[in-house]
Structure 1
Amino acid sequence: MTSDRTDHLLFPALEALGASNGAWLEEKWSAWLEKPESVAPELASLFSTLNAGPTPLLNPSQQLAHGDDGRDEALGVLREAWRQRGHLRATLDPLGLRERPDVPGLFPPSNAPAHHQAEAQRLEQLYAGTLAVEYMHLQDARERQWWQDRFEGQPRHTGSAPGLDPRRILALLTKAEIFEAFCQQRYTGARRFGLEGGESLVVALQTLVDEAGRDGVDSMSFGMSHRGRLNVMVNILHKPAEAIFSEFAGKAFGPDEIDTAGDVKYHLGCAATVRTPGADGKAASHEMRLALLPNPSHLEAVDPVVMGRVRADQDRTHDEARNKHLGVLVHGDGAFAGQGVVYETLQLSRLRGYGTGGTVHIVLNNQVSFTTDPTDQHSGVWNTDVARTVQAPVLHVNGAAPEAVARAASLAHEWRQAFGRDIVINLFCYRLHGHNETDEPAFTQPRMVEAINAYPGVRARFAEDLEKRGLIEPGQAEALRRADDQALEEAFAQADTYQPDGTDWLDASPLDPTRLQDSPERVQPMTGVPLARLREVGLGSTEVPAGFALHPRIERQFKARRQALEAPEGTVDWATAETLALGTIALDGHRVRLSGQDSGRGTFSQRHAVLTDQRDGHKVTPLDLLSRRQGKVEVWNSPLSEYGVMGFEYGYSLGNPEALVMWEAQFGDFANGAQVMIDQFVASGETKWLRTSSLTLLLPHGLEGAGPEHSSARPERFLALCADNNMRVCMPSTPANYFHLLRRQIARRCKKPAVIFTPKSLLRRPEARSLLAEMGPQTRFQPILPDPLFQGVGQQDARGKVRRLILCAGKVYYDLAARRAELGLNDVALVRLEQFYPFPHHALVAELVRFPKLETALWCQEEPRNGGAWRYVDRRYEHSLKNAGQQLRPRLVGRRASASPATGLASRHASEQAALIERALTRDFSIPLTPDEKAHH
């Protein structure tokens, strides 16, 4: 809030020298320009550093006079200084608490020619008024020139477009202010995170909507956190005020026929179709869809979700220029600087697989974050400095100058459409009530509160200014205020009888009959494919364009794949089954999108969906070349991000429900980095907001001695989130079941996220193969896989001899089966649980009744007893046993409880694994457990 912070950040040496006085600094600067050795070495070093860079301020020997060639070089240097650092002098704080710092090089010495002094004053008006710009960090000279033209060009862009009319701005400010005042009066003490002090946000957003409409944009997706959200819903997306007043009274936000847990009103989303002025700026002729995506208290979590949603809209409508669907993100000042997902989202902005042609970011800069002052919020000069890393220009604007705010928004849209790049508007404002309406902000910001209490408000100031300019008549502003207040009174009167309409808050129909009919025990859809088509896809996936230089090892893999597929009873491994699933889905006309770290090749060098020419490095995706009429297949190597990329893919799945959208972790436990997305969106988005998604998470899992970070995808965490039929959590053990799982994501009209624990060593284990016929016609996903030893009608006697049944999942089955064969055991059955949630109770009971003489029922897992599926499976397994007529209490065989999910010592892993396999197959559980076994159990 003072100049000290900015001075010290810009000029660290000044703090040690005690040099914060502007006049003193200017004197020393001028002396250094004349004679560098005349100032202290510390200052000389500082001035030399400031003068370095692509455009020096002045050479020490250079005089403020015309050069020998007749050009005024000093004047050019002066202009460059203002372009680089003029934003530091801008008048941005509505409260006047932020002093304008002294910045060396912006003003010529007092003995400079008069026209130099005049030019400095002109540049100060252009670059250091209520609207300032940072653009000199842009590496592209064309982009820098674009900004120079708009700030220095003649005539200046002052906002003459219809959407920037001052009277309309006043109307928007009035609506924004009166809404908050009305809510404060009617719902005193209720938290709403009001917009008081930041009303100009509505001006910025409406300007963006108007500008987008004039450019023929089809949709805009918005993401924002709490502050001002209700105001934006009412005044930008036109959600009925009576709907919000009804929610204040505690009523449901959705129709009665939709069962939902709901969420607080300032987390909800809403959508509307609006008509905006067309290209002529007159008739409201263009129709555009606006959607505000729901967002939890994890403030910036929605950022990549909006980007993914916009990208899906663009891909779905073949918007290759990426200018018909736009994203707008509204951030808090502290969150923009402090939340890592902001940086992850910015990094996605210019990547081939994730770019959306530019996002407009608006930072609602309260100049305080909760109770934290800017000096403790961020390093660097501005809270927006992180945007500079992706070559995004930054507009700083005073929220008390609404016409400047409108101009900033207009420039932001123009930049985005011209260059397809992100841009940031840093909107300086204040908070009237502190973080929320129950706070006492004077506890921590007394000076700011004192200034706020003395400030008349943005609307009042602007109305007074318009009246002085003769743009409105006396009393006209008050008439606007009374009219808006009366409209809200009428809405308040209707709130008691208001019946929610899904279109008020959801941008897709909530009345999907398949969703209402869905149940955990719903019959699995048939997902098999004719064998001829399977072979077509499999062989096509190994074909490359003529002249393509394929790596010899990949050529050998493809040759083995072709031989397996062409055999009379072809068998396929895991990677081939996945290829067949993706390819057949694409041939059915659905887009397929897979992204993750190293997904093109596959972490374990198993997939090779994207091939690289060994001569020139160009890439090809054979699955995208199967047919001219197929759906697009995209496999993207993501940046090293989990939080941002998973959020992006979740948003993509919302925007294109007909696509198979997959996010793959390099190792399963890397999903830890995206836990917020899993908790707040994937697992609970439907029950909170009725946003259905079919995002598929692929999480490599399996304890194989690779250490704690490359072993467990933490099944226990996902299972703890399972309820309300919210998602599918599976650990398939065969390629065929994996094939059907992926195809089920498209075949089922009721969309649910899927969490699939995929294998590592099983990718190449000879026993982990499936017959092609298991993916053929009349086949489907099997949530329970019976023991192959006891299948068939003639196995009834053998099943009657079984005394021990081991229920397990994933890789451990193969270890158990191999050791059982070595020991020659014929009284142990191994049953695989392929789907954890929804728990396949009926299918498991049907399998358990086949073994009438059981004496022991076990659950065997590789994971420690405090991890894995045991705590989830335990009582469900017992319930199924009872329903099958077995009065048995299931027992656990697994590793002892551990704070770490796995050991990093290969020898220890091997001995632990051998011990638990032996215990599961041979331990007599009628004998009391030893102390060591008790520790495991």
Structure 2
Amino acid sequence: MDRFSFLGSVHIGFIDDLYQKYLKDPDSIEPSWRAFFQGYDFSKEMYGDDPVGTVDQQALEDVRREFLVLDLIQGYRTRGHLFTETNPVRSRRKYEPTLDIENFGLEKDDLDREFQAGTEVGLEGPATLRTIVQHLQNMYCRSIGVEYMYIRKPEVTSWIKQWLHQNENSTIFSKQEKMRILHKLNEAVSFEAFLNTKFVGQKRFSIEGAESLIPALDFAIEYAADQGVEEFVMGMAHRGRLNVLSNIFGKPRKQIFSEFEGKAFVEDEFDGDVKYHLGYSTIKHLKGKDVKLNLSPNPSHLEAVDPVVEGISRAKINNDYEGDSSKVMPILIHGDAAVAAQGVVYEVVQMETLNGYGTGGTLHIVINNQVGFTTNYLDARSSTYCTDIAKVILAPVLHVNGDDPEALVHAIRFATEYRQKFNKDVFIDLLCYRKYGHNEGDEPRFTQPLLYKEISKHPNPREIYSKKLEESNDLDDSALSEMESEFKAMLEEDFDESKKIERNFITPFMDDEWKEFRQSKPEDFHVSPKTGVEEEELKTIAETITTLPSDLKFIKKITRLFKDRHNQVFERNSLDWGMGELMAYGSLIMEGFNVRISGEDVARGTFSHRHAIVKVEDSEQEVCRLNEIPGREGRFAIYNSLLSEYAVLGFDYGYAMASPKTLTVWEAQFGDFANGAQIIIDQFLSAAEDKWKVQNGLVLLLPHGYEGQGAEHSSARLERFLQLCAQYNMQVVNITTPGNFFHALRRQMHRPFRKPLVVMSPKSLLRHPKAVSSLEEMTGGQFEEVIVDSPNEDSRIEKIVFCSGKLYYDLLAERESREDKTTAIVRLEQLYPLPQKQIDEVLNRFSGAKKKIWAQEEPANMGAWTFILWYFPERLELFSPAASASPAAGSSKTALARHREIVESVFNA
């Protein structure tokens, strides 16, 4: 086989051009050409610069065979991971062609010949082909398979190659380190065995089959700490979580045992959650320094915690470590079926280097059980590996045999060093098995009879590793027995102590960040706190944010817009929605709070109303006037997000969870886009405080309003949020004035507690001539939960129309056109918590009114009606479009006709 016979007819200039490219960037050219030039360089070293014609035929053949060996090396680097010994309980799938030397044009007679190509894999000087092959087998085809040759940066692939050359891709552990690995394996195995004995039949989602994860995490924390990491933020689903909590985080085992008893929680006002969903924060003492560990609470949605962990990590990087991402390491522990199938994983990895979402790289560890709930991996994905998502961001992947804890710890060392050096994601695919079914009461043989027949006979990693240590004389039987008996005695003692616990308590999570805040009380919601700002301060803010730098050129529309905003404050005293919003942000950063906004196209605003960042016309330089306010103590940041709702909302939720002194805002491009993030809304936003005793002040801006824009661009599904409301878990508002929006945003930061705020944000009101506010509305007062608009003396009011949102302005226009003096329009600016006190005052004020109406622009089965029907203190008559399967008509004319019908019917009633 002559792979280079084509060279005879190739133009010499073309070859020279390729060679010059090869010298600058070897990875920029096609692999066979790269191999050729590598061989050419070797031949120059061996034979000098003599023309080909002066070299004898044997020399030419030697050079050709050097090329073949280089091709073999390339084959191991690119495909060696397909021929590894990484599966502890299954035979590997067969792949063709194999890495046999014959498939590369080499023969058995070549095995004892020496080749200069040996230096390419870290060998010193010429080496026999037999040595080279053995070296490649040890590096790429034993307990670790490595994928990295798709990475496009030569400095990265070069670093990885050199790293793998060390000890043939293995670590030489000291006896002390080996005993530490065994010790952590013993903890992992014994803990599960103890639970299985004491709590028979209870769900615990054991780590059994993947026990090597425990020593791996133990070493990961130490390795990363040695490289400068001071805090870890970890997310994982339920598989192995209790073991990680006990043996890595040090959560008291007596508390875990008590949770198995199902006792009530100390805090009666909280429902709590199952034990394998709870979070935990602690401090670990390592080599004279303290390292913080955080395990984020999470629901059963297996990968939903991923963006939350990234958001928490980014908040800590910004707030605690002055933006130094090397100090905080996110660790995400996935399941094989979930990492391959859950779309949020793709959304999260796409955040890796984005300006608003990057965290300096994440360590991903996949507990690869080779089965989902009951589904075989062949039915769970089309990709070769569950980790193939890593290739999207060109992250290296190490596939590791879970029965070889030393190999896994070695892989962890690579991962931590890679992350710290390149600030990029890295994946470890831990090939293991699940000893039982999905839970300990499940029967896996229903669907996996052959696999579980093999698993039932398979020794656990502790047994395998202890036998290895015995054979190498690093361990004797008595040492292991003593280790087992000591740990079991501690477990028994903790179990006895757990019986003395009368009630469980919800484990604290990130207490340090929340020590200045308290839990809310019902009376906190009777009236909003004062949130006015001094007029002089407002004018200072306004002057700065409405004045563009004179030495920069902007498009004319921007210049006019900023001039108009200046006039709103200093000439007309009439601020529109965008100006009111920016004034709120400016006032908060003046007071030392931070503001973070993210979402699709938020910097400008979907409806071109915000313009928090403007670009210079001739350079696209970004200008943010909010950060130029003199005397500000906080910072303002706004980021256009990737086209994601699920992951971005999860990220911002996590950011708010770790940053209570930051006003964190997520804006949907249209309100219904929140549908894509429903898991975060259901599992975190609405329920986290009740489940995990975790507060959050995240603000959701969801454009909502019926302007004839069709089904998808009308409704933010107000009804869904109201259905989730209970126990003062969040606030839902539908605001009609810039001044009230100003106070709503400021209220978020001026309470001694935090609650999510869901805003049915306007579209048409952004430029409605009557949706304006004066400076006086911002200098005094507070958020108004209820606003009354009465055209006459209270005693002359015959009809009260309660409504919410933009419908008010349509009702107002109709009342004015009819010159109606007997109808009062009452706006519920806040729907939850329903302002009962203020509503009662309105009903008492207009006690003579004979007709009381609820009007809404949403269909009867949507909007606030069912909530109002349930909670309103008096029965109201409904005026709305008929119940509908779709939120709104696709025809703008039909939508307008329906809307007019509602408005007119309110006044005809």
Q: TM-score with structure 1 length normalisation?
A: 0.88
- 2:547 corresponds, among 543, 547, 558, to 543
Letter in 2 for 1:708: A
1:822 match: 817
Distance in structure 2 (CA, Å) of the matches to 1:157 and 1:59: 23
**How many residue pairs were aligned?**
852
> How do residues 680-699 of structure 1 correspond to structure 2 at under 5 angstroms?
680-699=683-702
Q: 2 CA distance for matches of 1:57 and 1:112?
A: 26
Task: Specify the alignment match of 2:397 in structure 1.
Answer: 394
SS of 1:528's equivalent in the other structure is coil
**Which residue does the alignment assign to 1:899?**
885
Partner of 1:56: 32
Partner residue in 2 for 1:603: 606
AA aligned to 1:783 is: E
Partner of 2:836: 841
**Does the CA-based 8 Å contact 1:581-1:739 persist in structure 2?**
yes
Cα distance in structure 1, aligned partners of 2:191 and 2:151: 40
CA–CA distance in structure 2, aligned partners of residues 412 and 60 of structure 1: 32
Aligned residues of 2:278 and 2:507 also touching (Cα < 8 A) = no
**1:132 is matched with which residue?**
145
Name the SS for the 1:497 alignment partner: coil
Pairing 1:624–2:637 present: no
**Correspondence 1:548-563 to 2 at 5 A:** 548-563=552-567
Is 1:914 equivalent to 2:897 in the alignment?
no
Q: Which runs of 5+ in 2 are unaligned?
A: 8-26, 44-57, 112-127
Matched, 1:238 2:257: no
1:783 matched residue in structure 2: 785
1:735 pairs with one of 718, 733, 738: 738
Aligned to 2:191: 179
For the aligned residue pairs, the C-alpha RMSD in angstroms reads 2.4
* 2: CA distance, partners of 1:423 / 1:266: 26
1:94 aligns with 2:88: yes
- The 8 Å contact of residues 138 and 169 in structure 2, kept in 1 or not, is answered as no
2:618 is the counterpart of 1:615: yes
Q: Distance in 2 between matches of 1:216 and 1:368?
A: 37
Task: From the superposition, tell whether residues 659 and 819 of structure 1 become closer, same or farther in structure 2 (CA, over 3 Å).
Answer: same
- Of residues 255, 259, 284, the one that matches 2:269 is 259
Aligned: 1:768 with 2:765: no
Kindly report which structure 2 residues correspond to 1:406-445, keeping only aligned pairs within 5 A, or say none.
406-445=409-448
Aligned counterpart, 2:116: none
Of 166-175 and 61-70, deviating more is 61-70
Residue 329 (1) aligns with residue 343 (2): no
Match of 1:526 among 504, 519, 530: 530
Aligned residue type for 2:869 = D
- Whole-Å separation in 2 of the counterparts to 1:526 and 1:713: 29
Establish whether residue 808 from structure 1 lines up as the match of residue 818 from structure 2: no
Residues 1:268 and 2:278 are matched in the alignment: yes
Deviation of the 1:552 alpha carbon: 0.9
Question: In the aligned structure 2, how far is the partner of 1:607 from the partner of 1:665?
Answer: 14
Contact preservation (8 Å) 1:306, 1:648:
yes
1:890 is matched with: 876
* Contact 1:79–1:123, Cα closer than 8 Å, also in 2: yes
- Corresponding residue SS for 2:519: helix
Give how far 1:746 is off: 0.4
Shift of 1:216: 3.5
Look up the SS of the partner of 1:898 in the other structure: coil
Q: CA deviation at 1:772?
A: 1.1
In structure 2, what is the Cα distance between the partners aligned to 1:35 and 1:457? 54
Taking the aligned partners of 2:59 and 2:548, their CA distance within structure 1 comes to 65
Cα distance, 1:445 vs structure 2: 0.9
Measured against aligned partners, the alpha-carbon deviations of 1:668-717 in whole angstroms (never above 9, x if no partner) come to 01000000000000000000001100000000000110011110000000
- 2:880 is paired with a residue whose SS is strand
Give the match's secondary structure for 1:572.
coil
Q: Matched residue of 2:511: which SS?
A: coil
Matched-pair contact (CA < 8 Å) for 1:81–1:106: no
Candidates 73, 83, 86, aligned match of 2:77: 83
Cα offset, 1:485, TM superposition: 1.1
Check the 8 A contact 2:591/2:632 in 1, yes or no. Answer: no
Partner SS state of residue 553, structure 1 = helix
Q: Could you say which residue in structure 1 is the equivalent of 2:123?
A: none
**What's 2:863 paired with?**
868
Residue 276 of structure 1: how far off its partner (Å): 1.2
Whether contact under 8 Å (2:234, 2:332) holds in the other structure is: yes
Contact 1:90 1:100 in 2 (8 A): no
**Aligned ranges for residues 264-303 of structure 1 at < 5 Å?**
264-277=274-287, 285-303=288-306
Q: Give the alignment of 1:369-388 within 5 angstroms.
A: 369-388=372-391
Residues 592-637 of structure 1, C-alpha deviations (whole Å, 9 max, x = no match): 0000000000000010001111101121211112136421100100
Say which SS state the counterpart of residue 879 (structure 2) adopts. Answer: strand
Distance 2:803 2:135 in 1: 77
Greater CA drift, 700-709 or 513-522: 513-522
Distance change in 2, residues 1:67/1:823 (3 Å): farther
69-78 or 80-89, larger mean C-alpha shift: 69-78
Q: Distance in 2 between matches of 1:747 and 1:77?
A: 66
Q: Show structure 1 runs of 5+ residues with no match.
A: 1-29, 37-50, 278-284, 791-797, 882-888, 924-937
C-alpha change, 1:752 and 1:161, in structure 2 (3 Å) is: farther
Checking the alignment, whether the CA contact within 8 Å between 1:225 and 1:267 is kept in structure 2 is yes
Aligned-partner SS, 2:311: helix
Q: How many angstroms does 1:101 deviate by?
A: 3.6
Give distance in 1, aligned partners of 2:408 and 2:532: 57
1:477 and 2:480 correspond: yes
Matches within 5 A, 1:478-497: 478-497=481-500
CA deviation after TM superposition for structure 1 residue 100, in Å? 5.4
What are the within-5 Å matches in structure 2 for residues 699-710 of structure 1? 699-710=702-713
How far, CA to CA, are the matches of 1:875 and 1:111 in structure 2? 84
Task: Write the deviation string for residues 406-445 of structure 1: whole angstroms up to 9, x where unpaired.
Answer: 0111110100100000111000100111211011111111
Could you tell which deviates more after superposition, 479-488 or 625-634?
625-634
The answer to whether the Cα contact below 8 Å between 1:33 and 1:59 also exists between their aligned partners in 2 is: no
Q: Secondary structure at the match of 1:849?
A: helix
- AA matched with 1:554: I
2:107 to 98, 107, 110: 110
| Aligned match of 1:229 | 241
CA distance in 2, matches of 1:262, 1:846: 37
User: Hey, what's the Cα distance between the residues in 2 that align with 1:907 and 1:198?
Assistant: 62
Give the distance between the partners of 2:256 and 2:484, measured in 1 at CA: 20
Paired position in structure 2 for 1:14: none
> What does residue 219 of structure 2 align with?
207
